[in-house]
C-alpha cells in the first residue's frame, strides 16, 4: 500500500516565497507516521516548501487540517479527487467541523488518531473505508512516539517540536484547543519523552514543547523537568501565568534548560479577561510582576496580546505596546481576535449576529489578519493597529532598548539569536497581513465528494 501524507500551507501568492517563520516541523505528520505499519510505503510532502506531485502514484492521501489551512486542504483534495485518488482528513478543524470536512474527504478522523488511524488503514486495505472514524474516548498517549524520518531533506527552522501533554485544562472562550479536547489534558510518559529527545541526532537544536500549557499539571511538569536536567538541552514552551507563583517550578524550568516561555497575557483590561474566561490572568499576580519574576529566573518571555473584545478602545493598543517595551519583553505578538468554529466565542458571535463571514475560513474575500466580525473598535482599525504595533515593537529603537534586559541576551551569549529573531519578525511584521487562505493560482471550483454539497 502506498500512502501520501501532506501538510497543507495556509495559502500561496504566485511569485512570493512562503513566510519563513511559518516553516517549523509539522509534528502531526510525524505522529501519523509513527502510527503507520512498517509495510506501508510512506511519502510526505510539505506544501509550504515544495510543489506537490499530484500525478505521482499513490493509493491514499491523508491531510491534517487546521482552520487556517482548510481552504488549501480542500484545493489539494480536489486535485487528487480529479485523479481518482481517495483523501482522508483529520486534525483540529476536522474535529470541530466534521460535517464540513466530510464534503471534501472520503473519510474524516474526528479526535485523536492513536486508536482510529490503524483501524482506518486496515479498513482501507480491506476495501471497507468508512466515512467517519471517531475516537470513543481520549486515548493513552503515554508511549506514543513520532517518526521523524519523513522530515529528512526538508529545510525547516532549526527547532525540534516535542509533545509532553495534549490539551489544556482551562476554558478560554476563544480557544479551539479546549473545545477539541473538552478542557482536559493527557500526558506522555516522562521516560518516553526522554527517550525521544535522547535519540535525536542533534541535541544542540532548540526544543519546543508544543503543549498548550506545559505546566498545566505542576507535579507532572516538575517530574519531567527533573528528568530533562541531565540531557543538557535548551527548550522553550507555552505556559500560563499561574506558573509565576511556584518558585520551585520556575527554578526547575531554568535548570532543565528552559530558555523562555510563551504566555498569553491577552489583555491588560480585567473586564476583557473576564469576558474571555481568563480572569485568572489578573487574579493572582499583576502582569508586570509575572514578567519580572520570570526574568529573575533567567526565563525570556514571548507575550501575546489579542484585540477585539468589547472593552478594547483606541488606548488599549498603546497601553499594550508601552507595557511590552517598558518591561523589555523578548518577543510579543499583537494579534486580532479570531472566532474559530466550534469555540464558545464563535457560537456567541453567531448568536449575536456579529459575524461578517459565517465561514470566514472558506470565504475568498477573507484574508489573514482581518477581523471577521463586528467589534467596538472598527475591524479594519484593529487590523491596521496590530500591524503598526508589530512594526514599532520591532523597530531598531525598541530592539536596542530591550537589549538592556540582560535576560534577553544572556549577558551576551544570546545576543546573536536575539537580534536575528527580532529582525526577522520586524521584516515579517506586515507580510502576514492580507495573506490569502488557499493558493491564488488554483483554478476551477473545489471538487466535493460525490453526493456532498460544495461549500466554497
What CATH number is given to the structural domain containing 252?
3.80.30.20
Q: Alpha-carbon distance 62 to 65, whole Å? A: 10
The domain boundary, picked from 107, 140, 173, lies at 140
| Judgement on whether residues 132 and 159 belong to the same structural domain of the protein | no
The pTM (predicted TM-score) of the whole model is 0.94
Report, as an integer, the average pLDDT of 45-50: 96
Tell me, yes or no, whether 303 lies in a domain.
Answer: yes
| Judgement on whether residues 296 and 317 belong to the same structural domain of the protein | yes
Q: Alpha-carbon distance 372 to 356, whole Å? A: 5
| Judgement on whether residues 164 and 102 belong to the same structural domain of the protein | no
Kindly report which listed range (16-30, 95-109, 225-239, 349-363) carries the lowest average pLDDT score. 16-30
* Per-residue pLDDT tens over the stretch 313-327: 999 999 999 999 999
The domain boundary, picked from 103, 122, 140, lies at 140
Confidence of residue 17 (pLDDT cuts 50, 70, 90): confident
The contacts of residue 247 (CB under 8 Å, 6+ apart) are: none
| Judgement on whether residues 136 and 167 belong to the same structural domain of the protein | no
| Judgement on whether residues 153 and 135 belong to the same structural domain of the protein | no
The domain boundary, picked from 140, 166, 197, lies at 140
Q: Alpha-carbon distance 5 to 407, whole Å? A: 41
| Judgement on whether residues 112 and 233 belong to the same structural domain of the protein | no
pLDDT for the residue 128: 97
pLDDT for the residue 438: 95
Q: What is the number of domains present in the chain?
A: 2
Confidence of residue 283 (pLDDT cuts 50, 70, 90): confident
Tell me, yes or no, whether 220 lies in a domain.
Answer: yes
Tell me, yes or no, whether 174 lies in a domain.
Answer: yes
Tell me, yes or no, whether 20 lies in a domain.
Answer: yes
Mean pLDDT of the chain: 94
Tell me, yes or no, whether 448 lies in a domain.
Answer: no
Tell me, yes or no, whether 258 lies in a domain.
Answer: yes
| Judgement on whether residues 116 and 198 belong to the same structural domain of the protein | no
| Judgement on whether residues 313 and 220 belong to the same structural domain of the protein | yes
| Judgement on whether residues 90 and 130 belong to the same structural domain of the protein | yes
In this structure, what is the dihedral angle of CA atoms 366, 370, 372, 376, given to the nearest 10 degrees?
-160
* Per-residue pLDDT tens over the stretch 112-161: 999 999 999 999 999 999 999 998 899 999 998 999 999 999 999 889 99
- Given a cut of 80, is residue 258 above it in pLDDT? yes
- Given a cut of 70, is residue 456 above it in pLDDT? no
Q: Which CATH number is 43's domain given?
A: 3.40.50.280
- Given a cut of 80, is residue 454 above it in pLDDT? no
| Judgement on whether residues 369 and 249 belong to the same structural domain of the protein | yes
CB atoms within 10 A of CB 327: 18
- pLDDT more than 70, % of the chain: 100
The contacts of residue 25 (CB under 8 Å, 6+ apart) are: 148, 151, 154, 156, 159, 160, 161
Q: What cell numbers appear for 278 in the block? A: 481568563
Domain span including residue 54:
2-140
| Judgement on whether residues 134 and 186 belong to the same structural domain of the protein | no
| Judgement on whether residues 46 and 185 belong to the same structural domain of the protein | no
Tell me, yes or no, whether 33 lies in a domain.
Answer: yes
Report, as an integer, the average pLDDT of 382-399: 95
Tell me, yes or no, whether 443 lies in a domain.
Answer: no
- What would you measure as the largest C-alpha separation in the chain, in angstroms? 64
pLDDT for the residue 282: 75
Q: Alpha-carbon distance 296 to 251, whole Å? A: 10
Amino acid at each position: 500500500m502506498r500512502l501520501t501524507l501532506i501538510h497543507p500551507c495556509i495559502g500561496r501568492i504566485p511569485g512570493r516565497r512562503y513566510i519563513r517563520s511559518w516553516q517549523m516541523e509539522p509534528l502531526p505528520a510525524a505522529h501519523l507516521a509513527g502510527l503507520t505499519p512498517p509495510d506501508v510505503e510512506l511519502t510526505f510532502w510539505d506544501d509550504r516548501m515544495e510543489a506537490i506531485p499530484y500525478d505521482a502514484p499513490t493509493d491514499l492521501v491523508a491531510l491534517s487540517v487546521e482552520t487556517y489551512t482548510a481552504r488549501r486542504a480542500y484545493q489539494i483534495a480536489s486535485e487528487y479527487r480529479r485523479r481518482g485518488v481517495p483523501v482522508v482528513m483529520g486534525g483540529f478543524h476536522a474535529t470541530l467541523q466534521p460535517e464540513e470536512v466530510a464534503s471534501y474527504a472520503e473519510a474524516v478522523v474526528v479526535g485523536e488518531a492513536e486508536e482510529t488511524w490503524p483501524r482506518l488503514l486496515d479498513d482501507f486495505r480491506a476495501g471497507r473505508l468508512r466515512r467517519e472514524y471517531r475516537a470513543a474516548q481520549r486515548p493513552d498517549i503515554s508511549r506514543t512516539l513520532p517518526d521523524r524520518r519523513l522530515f529528512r531533506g526538508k529545510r525547516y527552522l532549526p527547532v525540534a517540536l516535542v509533545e509532553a501533554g495534549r490539551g489544556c485544562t482551562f476554558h478560554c472562550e476563544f480557544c479551539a484547543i479546549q473545545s477539541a479536547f473538552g478542557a482536559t489534558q493527557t500526558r506522555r510518559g516522562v521516560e518516553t519523552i526522554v527517550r525521544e529527545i535522547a535519540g535525536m541526532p542533534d541535541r544542540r537544536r532548540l526544543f519546543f514543547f508544543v503543549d498548550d500549557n506545559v505546566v498545566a499539571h505542576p507535579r507532572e511538569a516538575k517530574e519531567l523537568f527533573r528528568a530533562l536536567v541531565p540531557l543538557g538541552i535548551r527548550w522553550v514552551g507555552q505556559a500560563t501565568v499561574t506558573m509565576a507563583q511556584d518558585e520551585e517550578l520556575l527554578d526547575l524550568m531554568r535548570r532543565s534548560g528552559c530558555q523562555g516561555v510563551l504566555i498569553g497575557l491577552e489583555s491588560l483590561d480585567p473586564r476583557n479577561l473576564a469576558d474571555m474566561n481568563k480572569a485568572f490572568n489578573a487574579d493572582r499576580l499583576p502582569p508586570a510582576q509575572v514578567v519580572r519574576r520570570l526574568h529573575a529566573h533567567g526565563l525570556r518571555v514571548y507575550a501575546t496580546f489579542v484585540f477585539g473584545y468589547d472593552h478594547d478602545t483606541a488606548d488599549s493598543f498603546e497601553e499594550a505596546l508601552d507595557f511590552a517595551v517598558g518591561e523589555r519583553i523578548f518577543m510579543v505578538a499583537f494579534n486580532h481576535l479570531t472566532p474559530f468554529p466550534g469555540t464558545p466565542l464563535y457560537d456567541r458571535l453567531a448568536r449575536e449576529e456579529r459575524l461578517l463571514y459565517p465561514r470566514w475560513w472558506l470565504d475568498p474575500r477573507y484574508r489573514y489578519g482581518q477581523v471577521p466580525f463586528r467589534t467596538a473598535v472598527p475591524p479594519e482599525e484593529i487590523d491596521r493597529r496590530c500591524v503598526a504595533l508589530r512594526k514599532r515593537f520591532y523597530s531598531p529603537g525598541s530592539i536596542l532598548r530591550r537589549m538592556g534586559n540582560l535576560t534577553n541576551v544572556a549577558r551576551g551569549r544570546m545576543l546573536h539569536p536575539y537580534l536575528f529573531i527580532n529582525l526577522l519578525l520586524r521584516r515579517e511584521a506586515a507580510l502576514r497581513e492580507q495573506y490569502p487562505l488557499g493558493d491564488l493560482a488554483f483554478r476551477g471550483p473545489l471538487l466535493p465528494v460525490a453526493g456532498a454539497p460544495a461549500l466554497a
